[in-house]
């Protein structure tokens, strides 16, 4: 190894770590040429040396399960954290920062919960944290948000940010596969988290949205600020009805500035139901800069750009006040796309420009104010509703009466022919309504003896014009 090589230490050597080791090995000459000096992977910290990097990409003598031995390795100014999770891994990251080492991480769970503290620690010790791989795998969305769109006030983000969920939804929609089969395939392909419930519950996307929204809106956002619903209870029937109505179902991560006129004002069309006195208080608390932050299965029109995003691909639509709509697209999960983002971060840190920018810009700062969010029940949206109804005279009248009493207007109704007296799926699409009013109405509908089980309710997302 050349004497001017830059030394890297890596924590974790699973799917992503294996990809990083592979790139550093196979593209050593290219990176040395781009950087003007070679990159040397000096030490790798794992839990089980025998199991790590079975492909032989890391020489055995570089592997250690001893954290003290790892941190005492000489000439290792950059630590790459690709172990995931919090707990001991987060203590390793703090240890690295306190020792004056730059950190490159793919760990959105850690950043969404501890970002401001970690960045404060990094600033204190005059080092950088680079985190491109934490959101949208190989797509450089963090770089775009931090630098490329810096001139813009960001008004909204709409993202497909979880490759596992997008893969499952694509396979269910296009190939008619079951949820369980598609999930097992996503795991085998290395897209899923070690605990895949993080993916399918929407939590992984919520963590990514928290990181993106902090950067985009300059406020402190953590995972708990994001209201989320996963794809784990989605039914194949809803995927089929979506197609019949001209929509696709995607798990969308959404962050939007919400203005007073868009919520909380009583109107018969929206079914908004708070007394004026409470509305005035709430609206002044929310002001005009509250954010709606949410992750949920969404009906999007089949012709929308995000509907074309399939498999493990991710995409992020950003609406900036000057640029208008931009969309980034690429592989959002998997070994080599994620390793691409990690290694790019290593090179950016090693070149020296990123640490300077990181110090100057107060990214994910502990000095930012806490985000103000709009409550989920104040969301105003169109909705798809599916219920199982007894096919007898008067059922539709009773259902529409409850919705009408709640100020909810219907835009489409769909029921396939069946024998009188049977239970059949009844699908309703509403005009814009306040979520709280709609859920209250569905509670009443569920009580009707002609309705079987709990009605399904999925938001229809109409993205702004280009």
Give me the active site residues, please: 208
Residue choice 192, 290, 349, 385 for contact with ligand HSE (CB under 6 A): 192
Pair of tokens at residue 21 = 């080791």
- List all residues 6 or more positions away from 73 whose beta carbon is below 8 Å from its beta carbon: 7, 9, 42, 43
Neighbours of 6 (CB within 10 A): 22
- List all residues 6 or more positions away from 19 whose beta carbon is below 8 Å from its beta carbon: 335, 336, 338, 339, 342
Based on the shown chain and the rule CB under 6 A, indicate whether residue 333 belongs to the binding site for ligand NAP: yes
Among 355, 367, 396, 459, CA closest to 120: 367
* Residue nearer to ligand NAP on the CB measure, 115 or 334: 334
Based on the shown chain and the rule CB under 6 A, indicate whether residue 163 belongs to the binding site for ligand HSE: yes
Based on the shown chain and the rule CB under 6 A, indicate whether residue 83 belongs to the binding site for ligand NAP: yes
Q: Which residue's beta carbon is nearest to the bound ligand NAP? A: 14
Enumerate the H helices of 314-434 as residue ranges: 335-351, 353-361, 395-405
Residue choice 105, 143, 164, 228 for contact with ligand HSE (CB under 6 A): 164
Based on the shown chain and the rule CB under 6 A, indicate whether residue 239 belongs to the binding site for ligand HSE: no
Based on the shown chain and the rule CB under 6 A, indicate whether residue 171 belongs to the binding site for ligand HSE: no
User: DSSP E strands: which ranges in 363-466?
Assistant: 380-390, 410-415, 423-430, 433-434, 451-460
Enumerate the H helices of 140-195 as residue ranges: 141-143, 163-175, 179-188
Residue choice 200, 333, 363, 461 for contact with ligand HSE (CB under 6 A): 333
Angle (nearest 5°) at CA 208 between 384 and 335 = 110
Residue choice 17, 332, 355, 436 for contact with ligand HSE (CB under 6 A): 332
Based on the shown chain and the rule CB under 6 A, indicate whether residue 106 belongs to the binding site for ligand NAP: yes
Based on the shown chain and the rule CB under 6 A, indicate whether residue 229 belongs to the binding site for ligand HSE: no
Site string for ligand HSE, 286-325 (x = CB under 6 A): ----------------------------------------
Pairing of strands 380-390, 6-11: unpaired
Residue choice 7, 202, 271, 334 for contact with ligand NAP (CB under 6 A): 334
Q: What residues line the site for ligand NAP (CB under 6 A)? A: 11-17, 45-48, 51-52, 82-84, 88-89, 106-107, 133, 137, 190-191, 193-194, 333-334, 338
Q: What residues line the site for ligand HSE (CB under 6 A)? A: 137, 162-164, 191-193, 199, 204, 332-333
């Amino acid at each position: 190894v050349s004497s001017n090589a830059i030394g890297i230490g890596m924590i974790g050597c699973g799917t992503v770590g294996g990809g990083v080791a592979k790139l550093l090995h196979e593209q050593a000459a290219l990176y040395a040429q781009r950087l003007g000096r070679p990159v040397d992977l000096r030490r790798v910290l794992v839990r089980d040396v025998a199991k790590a990097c079975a492909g032989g990409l890391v020489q055995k003598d570089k592997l250690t399960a001893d954290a003290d031995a790892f941190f005492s390795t000489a000439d290792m100014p950059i630590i790459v954290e690709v172990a995931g999770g919090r707990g001991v891994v987060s203590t390793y990251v703090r240890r690295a920062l306190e020792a004056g080492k730059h950190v490159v991480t793919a760990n959105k769970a850690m950043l969404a919960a501890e970002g401001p503290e970690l960045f404060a620690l990094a600033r204190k010790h005059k080092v950088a944290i680079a985190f491109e791989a934490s959101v949208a795998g190989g797509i450089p969305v963090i770089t775009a948000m931090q630098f490329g769109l810096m001139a813009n006030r960001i008004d909204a983000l709409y993202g497909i940010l979880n490759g596992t969920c997008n893969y499952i939804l694509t396979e269910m929609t296009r190939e008619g596969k079951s949820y369980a089969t598609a999930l097992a395939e996503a795991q085998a392909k290395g897209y899923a988290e070690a605990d895949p419930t993080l993916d399918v519950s929407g939590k992984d996307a919520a963590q990514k949205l928290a990181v993106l929204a902090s950067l985009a809106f300059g406020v402190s956002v953590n995972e708990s600020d994001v209201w989320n619903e996963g794809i784990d209870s989605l039914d194949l029937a809803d995927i089929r009805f979506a197609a019949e109505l001209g929509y696709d179902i995607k798990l969308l991560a959404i962050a939007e500035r919400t203005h007073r006129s868009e919520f909380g004002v009583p109107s018969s069309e929206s079914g908004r139901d708070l007394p004026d006195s409470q509305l005035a208080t709430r609206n002044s608390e929310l002001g005009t800069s509250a954010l709606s932050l949410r992750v949920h299965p969404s009906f999007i029109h089949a012709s929308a750009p995000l509907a074309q995003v399939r498999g493990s691909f991710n995409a992020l639509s950003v609406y900036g006040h000057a640029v208008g709509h931009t969309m980034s697209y690429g592989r959002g999960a998997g070994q080599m796309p994620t390793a691409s983002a990690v290694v790019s971060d290593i090179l950016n840190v090693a070149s020296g420009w990123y640490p300077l920018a990181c110090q100057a810009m107060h990214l994910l700062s502990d000095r930012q104010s806490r985000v103000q969010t709009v409550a989920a029940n104040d969301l105003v949206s169109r909705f798809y509703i599916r219920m199982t109804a007894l096919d007898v005279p008067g059922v539709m009248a009773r259902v529409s009466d409850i919705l009408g009493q709640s100020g909810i207007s219907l835009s489409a109704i769909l029921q396939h022919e069946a024998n009188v007296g049977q239970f059949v799926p009844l699908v309703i699409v509403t005009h814009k309504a306040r979520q709280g009013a709609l859920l209250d109405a569905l509670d009443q509908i569920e009580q009707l003896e002609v309705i079987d089980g709990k009605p399904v309710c999925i938001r229809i997302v109409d993205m702004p014009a280009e």
